[in-house]
């Protein structure tokens, strides 16, 4: 089944733009939450949790694999 790019961009502009922005929002939220959780988890105890960076990376990797 062929899906020509010209047809997609001329006849389905609204849906294409909407889908693009929905995925942009999804990935943006994912990366913001990933960076925030890494920063908060490894920050010193009064501000963050003070966990070792390697352990937090392993936890994040397992969470991403589990949610995939």
Predicted local confidence at residue 59, as pLDDT: 94
pLDDT in tens, 25-36: 999 999 999 999
At residue 40 the predicted structure's pLDDT band, cuts being 50, 70 and 90, is very high
At residue 9 the predicted structure's pLDDT band, cuts being 50, 70 and 90, is confident
Predicted local confidence at residue 48, as pLDDT: 94
- Report which of residues 3 and 24 the model is more confident about: 24
Q: Is residue 42 classed exposed, middle or buried when 0-12, 13-18 and 19+ CB atoms within 10 A define those classes?
A: middle
On average, the pLDDT of the chain sits at: 92
> What is the gyration radius of the CA atoms in the chain, in angstroms?
19
């Amino acid at each position: 089944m062929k899906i020509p790019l010209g047809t997609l961009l001329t006849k389905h502009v609204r849906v294409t733009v909407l889908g693009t922005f929905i995925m942009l929002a999804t990935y943006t939220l994912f990366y913001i939450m990933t960076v925030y959780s890494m920063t908060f988890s490894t920050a010193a105890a009064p501000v963050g949790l003070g966990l070792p960076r390697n352990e937090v990376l392993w936890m994040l990797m397992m969470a991403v694999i589990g949610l995939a």
